Structure 1
Amino acid sequence: MAKIFRVSARAGMTRVVEPVARRLLRLGVSPNAVTVAGTVGVLVGALGFGARGHLITGLVIVTLSALTDMLDGTMARLSGGSTTFGAFLDSSLDRVADAAIFGAVTYWLAVTGHHWGAVAGLICLTAGQIVSYVKARAEGLGMTCNVGIAERPERLITVGVGGLLSGVHLDWGLPAALWVLAVLSVVTVAQRILHVYRQSRRATQSADA
């Protein structure tokens, strides 16, 4: 259900984003430049505002900057398809952005005395990177790994909702969201490892047959 909703939402957003993408291409802006600009925006929102406790401002900046992830993809498609380097750059900078977001909220929780919330943030930060690594490693070995209850969009939405709640003075919001996400992220790591194990086992059995 979540994947169906995500696909539908993405299709709707594409219709909005496509005219902007065409305009930027006519101006000579490259998809890679948009990717870098979006990541810089996330860093400003997360580290410049979120880490200092300005959660609403940071959330708005990060959300607007994260929308460039769809914009650069649309630009790449309109200009003839993503290049190998473009795909590599986009994936790499996504990891930078994720680390900045979760690092920022973890730091803020730690310095404001929400130590258990900070522990959840560290789990989310670590597990989120492992989720991405497992997929990349599996694909590098010729397998698929598009499974898991908490993929990147779900992780960002969850921490965003938590930041919004804490930003309107519901202090339990961010720690609670991070603990929920920590559990879901660990489950996702397990789901992906199990998925790869099953593929590897089937491949071994086929080779032995």
Structure 2
Amino acid sequence: MAHRPVAGGRARHDSSDRPRDVLPAPPRGVRGVRRPSGRGPRTDVRSRQPGASGVVNTSVISPEVRARVRGLAIPVALAFGRLGLTPNALTVLGFGIAVVAAVAAAQQAWVAAGLLVILGGVFDLFDGALARATNRVSRVGAFLDSVFDRAGESLLFLGIAIGCVAVGFVGGALLAAGAMAASFMVSYVRAKSESLGFTPGTGMANVGIAPREVRLVIATVGLVLAGAGGGVWQRDCGSLFCVGSDLGPGSPWLAGSLAIIAVLATITTLQRILYVVREPANKEHE
């Protein structure tokens, strides 16, 4: 077999006139040669995850935190499974808790509504955890989970709006409607982007500052503080937005939480839109 010539057209030879490699021998002989590891350059997995970094992808809940919480939910989910409950049954049960929370809000039972909201949010972890742990993951289950999540969140804001109107707090009802519309847009942008193939899997869930979990926590805080702070009501002051003694002590807490949800949900919607538009991998879909 012919040897590859070196620069200059001639091969180097040793004292016995045998061609030798042009590379110098390692200083410690054969032992100094490192064995190839078989692995390419290390890549930070987080850099490929939506929401890992950047202003557009900023998220309060990182992919690592999501994975950790899901891991903690598995033992509880398996306990429900041993009781005979299926993932879809847990989805329906979580939706039932959301309905009760909405009814409590409509009846101005603000503290109870807030506690039920956070209970339903925690309970929502178990259906997916049980499905993954028992290998029952299905597209139908994911569809039902998404639909019931959207319905439960919408009913909550509707219940808050009804409760506010019942005590004359029309401004709070308008803020609840705004929070519901903004939250709906967050979910719609994700669903539409995934249906078009822009963000396969659960990638879009990691994009945006205020996903559903964050919005539920803010709603819980607002509801509990509204009830514990003296109640929500508004006297007739000739305006939709009253201040001072015309408002119940808990009214600003509820109004503030709804306003924060509306603003953060709008920002999240814009973040997700920009993510789809700016992601280089999506250019091929144009």
Shorter-chain-normalised TM-score: which range?
0.7 to 0.9
TM-score, normalised to structure 1, is 0.87
Asked if the contact 1:165–1:171 (Cα under 8 Å) also holds between the matched residues in 2, the reply is no
Residue 271 of structure 2 is matched in structure 1 by 191
Residue 60 of structure 2 is matched in structure 1 by 2
Amino acid of the structure 2 residue aligned with 1:152: R
Larger radius of gyration: 2
Quote the Cα distance in structure 2 between the aligned partners of 1:201 and 1:79: 33
Query: Which runs of 5 or more structure 2 residues have no equivalent in the other structure?
Result: 1-58, 231-249
Give a deviation string over 1:74-116, Cα, whole Å, max 9, x none.
1101111411111011011000110011111122122222222
1:27 matches 2:83 = yes
Give a deviation string over 1:25-63, Cα, whole Å, max 9, x none.
23322110011011011101222x111100111222232
Return closer, same or farther for 1:202/1:14 CA change in 2, 3 Å cut-off: closer
Return closer, same or farther for 1:9/1:55 CA change in 2, 3 Å cut-off: farther
Q: What is the 5 A alignment of 1:46-195?
A: 46-47=102-103, 49-144=104-199, 145-146=204-205, 147-168=207-228, 169=230, 170-195=250-275
- The structure where helix makes up a greater share of residues is 1
CA shift, 1:20, in A, is 2.7
CA shift, 1:176, in A, is 0.9
Return closer, same or farther for 1:133/1:9 CA change in 2, 3 Å cut-off: closer
Give a deviation string over 1:132-187, Cα, whole Å, max 9, x none.
01101001111123422221111111111111110112321000111122112222
Return closer, same or farther for 1:188/1:20 CA change in 2, 3 Å cut-off: closer
Asked if the contact 1:135–1:192 (Cα under 8 Å) also holds between the matched residues in 2, the reply is yes
Quote the Cα distance in structure 2 between the aligned partners of 1:71 and 1:190: 30
Return closer, same or farther for 1:78/1:98 CA change in 2, 3 Å cut-off: same
Aligned residues: 203
Query: Which runs of 5 or more structure 1 residues have no equivalent in the other structure?
Result: none
Q: RCO greater where, 1 or 2, for CA within 8 Å and sep 6 or more? A: 2
SS across alignment from 1:172? helix
Quote the Cα distance in structure 2 between the aligned partners of 1:78 and 1:192: 30
CA shift, 1:11, in A, is 2.1
**Percent identity, aligned pairs only?**
33
Amino acid of the structure 1 residue aligned with 2:182: A
Asked if the contact 2:117–2:220 (Cα under 8 Å) also holds between the matched residues in 1, the reply is no
Quote the Cα distance in structure 1 between the aligned partners of 2:69 and 2:281: 39
Return closer, same or farther for 1:10/1:200 CA change in 2, 3 Å cut-off: closer
Structure 1 vs Structure 2 CA RMSD = 2.3
CA shift, 1:131, in A, is 0.8
